[in-house]
Amino acid sequence: MTMSLSAELWPEVQPETARRLMLAGVESFAQRGYHATTTRDIAGSAGMSPAALYVHFPSKAALLFAISRSGHEQVLALVKQAAENTDSPTDAVRGIVEQFVAWHARRHTVARVVQYELGALPEQEYAVVAGLRRDIERILRELVVAGTESGEFTVADPGTAARALLSLGIDVARWYTERHRKTPEKLGTEYGQLALRMLGATQS
Amino acid sequence: MTMSLSAELWPEVQPETARRLMLAGVESFAQRGYHATTTRDIAGSAGMSPAALYVHFPSKAALLFAISRSGHEQVLALVKQAAENTDSPTDAVRGIVEQFVAWHARRHTVARVVQYELGALPEQEYAVVAGLRRDIERILRELVVAGTESGEFTVADPGTAARALLSLGIDVARWYTERHRKTPEKLGTEYGQLALRMLGATQS
């Protein structure tokens, strides 16, 4: 079961051992925080020796970076796809918020590590992740600007609005659990509507 | 300078030594996470011995609880005040969001500890804080319901809408720093407008 979850979370990562370590890392970081977790804890929870961990990740920071980069790349891919699938800023923003919210609900444990342990990344690794975050925010902001210019949206400050839209989704990871009465997809749909309202969309 | 900041953060806490320990706790927890911080770290950063810390807080958990409870009580007081100062759900929701957002920006380091270390609280202490959180969310949800009944708002699910409004503010603590080009108050005003739009407010 752990094996299939890790394959579902990181289909692009090989071999399976590396994925198992990433999953053990996510669970440990989410539970105790990055700084209080040792590589020994992580290796042990993946049923491996610390030496086996170092074969795949030279350090705890390298493991955090793999988790963080992969999470950001997945989200950026969702955002790009939603933005490219339509010519209308209204549809694009709705699609992005739906996907973004559903990802943060479905992947809430991974998302918490991705969103809350940014400060623990070493400088160079942080720069890579910050670049991915800027790309995500830029795509959304440009759509808000485009929709404002086309008259679909009425927005005082596209930067503030784009940031607020992302906040709606990011914070879902903080409170969402499997016990919530709504599915990630249903929640995404509702937030898509709230997002368009925030932008003063003429149609929704 | 540390002394005056701690008095500003926790005017209700006495003596000053206890406030200094709370400030050292906030800084340590925010930087390294709760689990990776020792009472020795906190006492040292407040310029005290661990024994002096225990005079005021019997454990690291007791210190976290003092920080978390105080933060939640401050926010609940702001929310209650904003809700009571007006008869109109529109004005009340705007006021609450303005205050809530400004608090999370102005107090972003305290707020991060308050919002992200909930899981580290012992069961009984968590129950107290969870009660304060429920009060905050309930006040906002009841205002959304009242505004929907009076025709001021059009909302599909008041629970989802209230949660989303709180998310907007909570997430500000994650990204806001003093370097941001907008003051906490200015940001609060903008988010107040976004909030009313999300609720489909007839006037804003």
- A92: which 2 tokens? 């694009």
CA of B15 vs chain A CAs: smallest distance (Å): 31
State residue A4's pLDDT score.
Answer: 65
Q: What percent of chain A has pLDDT over 70?
A: 98
For residue B2, name the pLDDT band (cuts at 50, 70, 90).
Answer: very low
Q: In terms of pLDDT, which residue wins out, B145 or A203?
A: B145
Q: Give contacts of A202 with chain B, Cβ < 8 Å.
A: none
A204 is a domain residue = no
pLDDT for res B7: 84
| A32–B35 CB contact, under 8 Å | yes
**Is residue A151 within 8 Å of A202, Cβ to Cβ?**
yes
Q: Does residue B103 share a domain with residue B54? A: no
B97 Cβ contact partners less than 8 Å away, ≥ 6 residues apart: B165, B168, B169, B188, B191, B192, B195
Contact residues, B window 7-46, toward A, CB-based 8 Å cutoff: 31-36
Please answer yes or no on whether A190 and B36 come within 8 Å at the CB atom. Answer: no
Q: Structural domain tally of chain A?
A: 2
Counted across chains A and B, CB pairs separated by less than 8 A come out at 79
- Tell me, yes or no, whether A53 and A106 share the same domain: no
Chain A residues in contact with B200 by the CB 8 A cut-off are: 197
Q: Does residue B204 belong to any structural domain of this protein?
A: no
Cα separation, A84 vs B139, in Å, equals: 40
Q: Are residues B89 and B16 in the same domain?
A: no
Q: Specify if A92 maps to a domain.
A: yes
Q: What is the DSSP string of B64-79?
A: HHHHHHHHHHHHHHHH
A51 assigned to some structural domain:
yes
Decide which of B58, B74, B105 is a domain's last residue.
Answer: B58
CATH code (residue B120): 1.10.357.10
Domain assignment present for residue B175? The answer is yes
Shortest alpha-carbon distance between residue B6 and chain A (Å) = 24
State the Cα–Cα distance between residues B161 and B163, nearest whole angstrom.
5
Looking at the predicted structure, is the pLDDT value of residue A106 above 90? yes
Same-domain status, B101 and B130? yes
Q: Which residues contact A169 (CB under 8 A, 6 or more apart)?
A: A97, A100, A101, A103, A104, A191
CA distance B192 to B168: 10
pLDDT surpassing 90 at residue A202: no
Find all residues with CB under 8 Å of B123, minimum gap 6, and list them.
none
Q: Is residue A154 part of a domain?
A: yes
Q: Which residues of A touch B174 (CB under 8 A)?
A: 115-116, 167, 170
What is the average pLDDT value for chain A, to the nearest integer?
93
A118 part of a folded domain: yes
Pair A78, A163 in one domain = yes
Q: At B14, is the pLDDT very low, low, confident or very high (cuts 50, 70, 90)?
A: confident
* Mean pLDDT for the stretch of residues B78-95: 93
Domain end, chosen from A58, A76, A98, is at: A58
Q: Which of A38, A58, A78 is at the close of a domain?
A: A58
Residue A120 and residue A137 in one domain: yes
Candidates A198, A199, A202, A204, partner chain B, best to mutate (most B CBs within 10 A) = A198
- Per-residue pLDDT band for B82 (boundaries 50, 70, 90) equals very high
pLDDT per position as a tens digit, A12-42 = 888 989 999 999 999 999 988 899 999 999 9
Helix segments in chain A, DSSP class H = 2-9, 16-32, 39-45, 50-56, 60-84, 89-106, 108-116, 123-149, 158-175, 184-198
Is B203 among the domain residues? no
Q: Are residues A14 and A108 in the same domain?
A: no
Which range of residues forms the domain containing residue A159? 61-198
Is the pLDDT at A203 greater than 80? The verdict is no
Specify whether B19 is located in the same domain as B43. yes
Q: Is B34 left (phi over 0), alpha (psi -120 to 50) or beta?
A: alpha
